[in-house]
Structure 1
Amino acid sequence: MNDIAIQLNDVSKAFKYFALKNVDLTLPTGQIMGFVGANGAGKSTTIRIIMGLMQADQGKVNVLGRTLPYEQANLKQEVGYSSEEMRLYGAKNLGWHMQFIKSIYPSWDDNYAKALLNRFDLNTEQKIKQFSKGQHIKAQLLLVLARKPKLLVLDEPTTGLDPVARQEVMNELALILQDEQRTVLFSSHNTADVEKISDQITFIDRGRIIDSNDKETFLENWRRINIELPSDHEMLPMGHVIHVEQQGRIASMVSNQFTPSILQACQQQNIRVNSVDNMTLEEIFLTSVMHRRQGEQK
């Protein structure tokens, strides 16, 4: 078994008004990676390259030990893919789709498919054109999940779902993680979903990867330090402080590698530390994006 499910090295793709730039991405086997970025950041372009639906202008793409695009055909049985752009046959019912997918993929699991039907509250006799958007998305996921692919690639899997349906999908992805042979890459702009189930997290903005790490590393390293400055005091630069917001003597600093040395530096400058707070993944993502964009403007 390959230890690495997805490996991208220096991957770029140029369009008229957008470019994917020198993307490096590594997803170990058996992990769930949340791929986070705003709409238009490059998530879907990256995923299309991984799926062999689009060829990169430069760089190396390796999926489940196979080099793309040369070995793309060999991956069809092992990779499951779902995106909001995909459409099912409206005139056919869900049962027809299930039988069709079963006839193509030997790995189809009838028992698992029935369990997903119950979990997602779907009717096999109902025609696809009668489904709500949420039901349509859940039907797509059922057809992909029941195949038991080694690698599952989901592009914005919860878009359009109500809170209950979103929770059902997230719970199912969390169960998949228990199988160490299966790997999941899913893109999302919803950091709450990502924080809930991911092992690995990658941030992308304007076609560039801006950070990638274990979820726990992000949450352990990032801190917001709320401080009070002495009167007429100009704060000296501190290591690993990447963002400062100040209003009069009150300021808030963000560190992406918090250590006690930052508190010691505050003490040396007679700066009062009011609190040191954990940060949510959404706060970490937004600060990372702002920090990168400010750096590009200099």
Structure 2
Amino acid sequence: MGKKRNGERLSKLVDRIWMTHCMKPLSPVIKKVHRKDVDTSLMKRFRSRQETLFERDWKHVKLGYFYELATAGLYGGLVKRELEVPYGDSVIEVYPDVLDENNELMFESKGCFSSESQNLEDDQIERYIAFQLSNSGYQLYYVIYRHSLKKIRTYQGSEEDLFEYLSKNTCCSFVLPFSVVLKLHETRDSELAWRYDGQFWTPNTSVKSRTINRFLEAPGVSGAEEVLKQLGLNPGDYVIERLMSPMSFYVQDHDVRPFPVLFVRDVNHESWIQTFLDSYSEVSFDFPVPDEDF
């Protein structure tokens, strides 16, 4: 019952804040996103990889797939790309959810229940660091969607039912540049996140639900600007937009109900990249050798 009440409070918070602070609607790059836009053979490989490495059943995979399609439709690019990136004397693989090579944009999409924390896994973050080191012109964003589906593992509906539910019950989303995501991953501030370095799951930083929801709150109170300050970042280095998803937007013929979008972007990506290169060019990561079956 507690989580349900938290979800209800988030919905009320969203309604109140965006009626006051919403600036403009977000225009989708693609109004409809269909299965034909996706490399189905590659999708099967990724589904197998996710189920095997991360022990996620098809429901988690399909939930993620819905939001990958939504991200591609809203911001452009292709779903499910696999990239080989030179790193040291070898090559590593990077798996962005959405890639727009023409505009040098990369997106990692996440979907989580409205009162759950969001895990930032070390391995994924480190692969994106390696990619950014050799592709400094690219801008990488994490797109975090909050929905009201409480227990995806026990969901009984079909894939179509799942997509229809998510299209009507996505509460909001946050688009964060890699500069902010890195700080969230690195923080040891227990008010913002907690750290897991055990042996049972992938090492990660779990960003607390309260931290994510604070991005939605009114400017100057405890909103995005205050979270950036707490992370040691200067809010003046970022453009913070409070938007709404489009009135007319579909994912595989499912009409997606409009939801608030908190979009944060670097004011000067080139300046941040220089700082990033200075900080990480000498850092070394030990990546596992890819399984040939994949």
**Do both share a fold (TM > 0.5)?**
no
With normalisation by structure 1, the TM-score equals: 0.28
Normalized per residue, the structure richer in helix is: 2
Per residue, is there more strand in 1 or in 2? 1
Larger Rg: 1
Structure-2-length-normalised TM-score:
0.28
